[in-house]
Amino acid sequence: MTEYNGAGTTSSPVVLTPEVQRAVWSWGVGPAALADLARSCGIEILGLPPVA
């Protein structure tokens, strides 16, 4: 059974937008650690993060 996330896909219902990625990095979580965490939790990372 797949979950419908309302965006027309059956991919992960949880996504990290660039804005969220930047906020998480401000807490001291680096890009590589965030990517590893997202993969292990099945979270989809959308697009490239904005350059600070």
Contact 2/10 with Cβ under 8 angstroms? Answer: yes
Closest CA to 46 of 1, 9, 2, 4: 9
Q: Spell out the per-residue pLDDT of the chain, length 52, in tens.
A: 444 445 544 555 678 888 888 888 888 888 888 888 888 888 888 776 666 5
pTM: 0.47
Structure tokens given for 22: 């930047």
CA distance 15 to 26: 18
pLDDT of amino acid 45: 81
- Residue 52 C-beta-side C-alpha neighbours within 13 Å: 9
pLDDT of amino acid 52: 54
Calculated CA dihedral for residues 9, 11, 14, 15, nearest 10 degrees:
-80
